[in-house]
């Protein structure tokens, strides 16, 4: 797993750990090595414009009812257009027992700029 900080215990119970924000440069080798499950939470019409090969597509509004499609034993990295919806998806996953969650900072737009300029920007 990625280097996630341990859950801290306090009088109120476990404190949530900060979700890891991955830059495109940090995510690329993890994807290349198959170390993470990539979750694309954008809408279908956005996916038609641009996508990262191999990502599992579950729109954010469908995620609560489709959690079973994700592997809780793996690190799940959510992505969207710029990073707002993917952070929301990550928080939802954490609330539902996923221990290893991250999101792509800057979303697919940053990925296109920094890693794969063949992916269209919109």
CATH number of the CATH domain containing 93: 3.40.250.10
Q: With bands split at pLDDT 50, 70 and 90, how would you rate the model's confidence at 3?
A: low
- Residue 36 resides in a domain: yes
pLDDT in tens, 21-66: 999 999 999 999 999 999 999 999 999 999 999 999 999 999 999 9
- Residue 121 resides in a domain: no
Q: Give the pairing type, strands 20-22 and 13-15.
A: unpaired
Say how many CA atoms lie within 13 Å of 21 toward its Cβ: 11
- Residue 61 resides in a domain: yes
CB 36 within 8 A of CB 75: yes
pLDDT in tens, 69-96: 999 999 999 999 999 999 999 999 999 9
Two structure tokens written together for 85: 């919806």
Provide the domain limits for residue 109: 18-114
What is the helix (H) or strand (E) element at residue 46, kind and residue range?
helix 44-49
The number of domains in the chain is 1
- Residue 89 resides in a domain: yes
Q: Indicate the SS3 state at residue 43.
A: coil
- Distance separating alpha carbons of residues 36 and 71, to the nearest angstrom: 10
């Amino acid at each position: 797993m990625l280097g996630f900080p341990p859950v801290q215990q306090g009088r109120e119970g476990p404190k949530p750990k900060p979700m890891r924000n991955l830059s495109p440069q940090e995510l690329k080798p993890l994807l290349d090595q198959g170390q993470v499950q990539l979750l694309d939470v954008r809408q279908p019409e956005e996916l038609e414009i641009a996508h990262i090969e191999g990502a599992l597509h579950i729109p954010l509004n469908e995620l609560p009812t489709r959690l079973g499609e994700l592997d809780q034993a793996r690190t799940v990295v959510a992505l969207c257009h710029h990073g707002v919806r993917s952070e929301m998806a990550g928080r939802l996953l954490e609330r539902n027992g996923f221990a290893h969650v991250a999101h792509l900072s800057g979303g697919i737009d940053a990925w296109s700029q920094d890693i794969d300029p063949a992916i269209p920007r919109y």
